[in-house]
Amino acid sequence: MKSVVIFIAKFLSFFMNILGRTGGSLPGVVALKFDSRILEKLVWPKDVVVVTATNGKSTMTNMIADVFEKDGRRVVVNRQGDNLRRGVVSLMMKNVNLLGRVRGDVVVLEVDEMSVRDLMREVPVSVLLVGNIFRDQLDRVGSIENVISRLEECVVEYSGKLVLCGDDVGVARLSLKTKAEVVYFGIGRVEGSLDKCDESPDGKICPRCGELLRYEFYQYSHLGRFLCVECRFGDFKVEYLIDKINLDIGSFIVRGVEFKILNKTTYGVYNALGVVAVCSEMGVDVRVVKDVLVEFEIGNGRMEVFELKNGKKLVVNVVKNVAGANEIIKWIMSQSGKKEVFIVLNNAIADGEDIGWIEDVKFEILADENIERVICGGMKVEDISIRIRKAGVEDSKILVVRNIKEGVEKLCDKNSDKFIMVSYTGVKSVRDELRKL
Ligand SMILES: [Zn+2]
């Protein structure tokens, strides 16, 4: 039966390829219809890495896969981010033989935070990387507490290795529920660390005893060095600890080794650090990791750079939640010279239909003399333009456009550097319009 299901799914993938479709989740949906436990029946390699986080999971997954490929291993990976269970099944159906043996030395899977639990019941995961948990799409996931408790459920029986961001209380909390080996990564006090940070309501309470946590310093949002003085939660050793960062050149030092990255932001450093931790734990030579990180670009609306006809650069970033948007805005403002920002806000299902989160984004920072203009567009153009006005950006600097095409064309008017912040479902249109210029 297993072979028949695999055969049907493979045939579907093949057929859809001929039709010029990438395949997506359909072969997975069909395979699961025939056999809902197909994943359990596959013969997996010893190294299976699962990557989850609110922000950065695609980036980390692709980086880890690149590292293993450069290291000479055969990698099976969902690079396009089909990160729900059916997407993973589709991927695996393409990458097993008819007997169900996985054709690869390593499997690297990006998995949605809410899907990890079910997937881990079926797949023999050897390394689970949890990068961060921020407020995101609460209309879909319920609450941040919901996300964390679902992750907690999946580590109770887990016996592989847990690689956790030790600066995120919600992530570090998983250690309380597991007997698995835990390895932490984090950032020490570096230039740019903050004594106080009011960007997030999360991470305030000790998950073990309920006391208020004390923070020695923050990096951004609720990420930072915390400790419960009551029960000592947070008093763990951070094995992969960054003690120096230079964001101007995109470098950081961990365990005496300097790494360089193209995404010169604190969240870019966190992503890279998670990758360093996973790959080092899995025995990859640090030089291979360095070589991959220094030239890694994911594109696809993550710090994706375009050049306009007038030679000015334009950088596109997907924004989908408060923590991510704040980091992008801070990064934009850290760039020198006059700037123009185009914000495209959609609320399709994949973006999260509730856009209440824009109230908590620090758009106030855009009310600055170096911001020449803020263009507003997308399905929720009214809401975003009202929010920008409320943030203190002068009316004369706000331009509302009917569609992405018009917004992109307007960007060519002025001679400043350009930045686009766009909801997930708007990325494709933005890239298409930019390519037409
Ligand atoms: Zn405590």
The domain spans of the chain are 2-295, 304-436
Give the distance (Å) from ligand 1 centre to CA of residue 170. Answer: 13
Bridge partners of 67? none
| Per-residue pLDDT at 23 | 57
| Per-residue pLDDT at 340 | 96
Give the distance (Å) from ligand 1 centre to CA of residue 291. Answer: 41
Give the distance (Å) from ligand 1 centre to CA of residue 227. Answer: 8
At residue 9, the 3 state secondary structure works out as helix
4, amino acid identity: V
**265 φ/ψ angles, rounded to the nearest 5 degrees:** -130, 165
Give the distance (Å) from ligand 1 centre to CA of residue 205. Answer: 8
Give the distance (Å) from ligand 1 centre to CA of residue 21. Answer: 52
Strands 127-130 and 47-52: parallel
Residues in the chain, how many? Answer: 437
324, amino acid identity: G
Q: Got the DSSP string for 405-428? A: HHHHHHHTTS-SEEEEEE-GGGHH
Strands 251-254 and 240-246: antiparallel
At residue 88, the 3 state secondary structure works out as helix
Q: How far apart are the first and last CA of the chain?
A: 52
Q: Which CATH superfamily is domain 304-436 in?
A: Mur ligase, C-terminal domain (3.90.190.20)
At residue 282, the 3 state secondary structure works out as coil
Give the distance (Å) from ligand 1 centre to CA of residue 340. Answer: 45
* C-alpha of 106 from chain center: 21
| Per-residue pLDDT at 82 | 86
* C-alpha of 75 from chain center: 20
At residue 177, the 3 state secondary structure works out as helix
Structure tokens at 27: 């072969």
**173 φ/ψ angles, rounded to the nearest 5 degrees:** -60, -25
| Per-residue pLDDT at 22 | 62
Give the distance (Å) from ligand 1 centre to CA of residue 169. Answer: 11
Exposed e or buried b per residue across 169-188, where buried means at least 16 C-beta atoms within 10 angstroms of its C-beta: bbbbbbbebbebebbbbbbb
| Per-residue pLDDT at 17 | 80
Tens place of pLDDT per residue across the chain (437 aa):
789 999 999 988 888 888 776 657 889 999 999 999 999 999 999 999 999 999 999 999 999 999 999 999 999 999 988 889 999 999 999 999 999 999 999 999 999 999 999 999 999 999 999 999 999 988 888 899 999 999 999 999 999 999 999 999 999 999 999 999 999 999 999 999 999 999 999 999 999 999 999 999 999 999 999 999 999 999 999 999 999 999 999 999 999 999 999 999 999 999 999 999 999 999 999 999 999 999 999 888 999 999 887 788 899 999 999 999 999 999 999 999 999 999 999 999 989 999 999 999 999 999 999 999 999 999 999 999 999 999 999 999 999 999 999 999 999 888 899 999 999 999 999 999 999 88
CATH classification code of 2-295: 3.40.1190.10
Give the distance (Å) from ligand 1 centre to CA of residue 213. Answer: 7
Q: What does the alpha-carbon distance between residue 102 and residue 284 come to, in Å, rounded to a whole number?
A: 21
Contacts 24+ apart (CB under 8 A), 424-428: 424/318, 424/320, 424/346, 424/350, 424/351, 425/346, 425/348, 425/350, 425/351, 426/344, 426/346, 426/378, 427/300, 427/301, 427/316, 427/318
Give the distance (Å) from ligand 1 centre to CA of residue 207. Answer: 7
Asked if 187 contacts 131 with a C-beta cutoff of 8 angstroms, the reply is no
Contacts 24+ apart (CB under 8 A), 58-62: 58/110, 58/298, 58/300, 58/302, 59/263, 59/271, 59/298, 59/302, 60/110, 60/129, 60/131, 60/271, 60/274, 60/275, 61/108, 61/109, 61/110, 62/296, 62/298
Give the distance (Å) from ligand 1 centre to CA of residue 86. Answer: 39
E-assigned strand segments in 102-143? 106-110, 127-130
Signed CA dihedral, 87, 93, 96, 101: sign only? positive
Whole-prediction pTM: 0.94
Angle between helices 2-18 and 26-34 (to 10 degrees): 160
| Per-residue pLDDT at 1 | 78
